[in-house]
Amino acid sequence: MFEHINQMKKALDDNRPLPKYAVKSLREKLLLDWTYNSNAIEGNTLTINETKVVLEGITVGGKTLREHLEVINHRDAIHFVEEIVQKGEPLSEWQIKNIHRLVLKGIDDEYAGVYRDQQVFISGAKHIPPAPFLIKEEMEQLMIWYEQAETKKLHPVTRGAMLHAIFVGIHPFIDGNGRTSRLLLNLELMKAGFPPIVIKVENRITYYEALDKAHTQKEYEDFIKLVADEVEDSLNLYLSAIK
């Protein structure tokens, strides 16, 4: 599955550094696409053009304050993830809570960066997240899995996809788990030198079904394949800048 991805990544690496303005425009495009799609998956009704306008600091009439904040917060969370990558900081529970705190800032400050104290259910999914009293232990287990030598040997696409899937299965927060999980996935990819990916809102059903299969059957192949396809898309985008 990863042979073609590895070849594309090598072609990209062989042409680094990319032209400065190409990198700037690619980054802006991915920041917009990532923010729009990640929010749209969760029900935000802003269009991609409205999302662009909000990122430029303009208010869109007829849209809620929450929808505006989701855009601004997501942009800030991306910047924070980029900072972690640039500094080479290791992933920790503290970092995960900080990412989530940015996602929910001004939307639900009481629960921003705080593990949930109530049972939640994922609409449309067979999987039921663990009870609140189990979250701390499950998150500790996730970090133990992440730090294992065997996990570090996994291909970055597999490692990032599984980090996303396991995290969102725990559903440690009241709200904002989906956005946080996609930020964690891209954090893992970017640390390995891959461009960030965009899980597209039009693939939402396939995405949810693959996640539910991972959670209920511990079969991650469908989800890893979905992520791998998006990795190819992002690599193609970057490679188009050097042709």
Count of residues making up the chain: 243
CA dihedral 193, 25, 68, 212 (to 10 degrees): -40
Q: Is 171 annotated as catalytic?
A: yes
For residue 189, count CB atoms less than 10 angstroms from its CB and return exposed for 0-12, middle for 13-18, buried for 19 or more. Answer: buried
Say if residues 203 and 239 touch (Cβ distance below 8 Å). no
Of 129, 103, 120, the closest CA to residue 42 belongs to 103
Say if residues 202 and 36 touch (Cβ distance below 8 Å). no
Among the listed residues 74, 100, 164, 171, the single catalytic one is 171
Residues known to be catalytic: 171
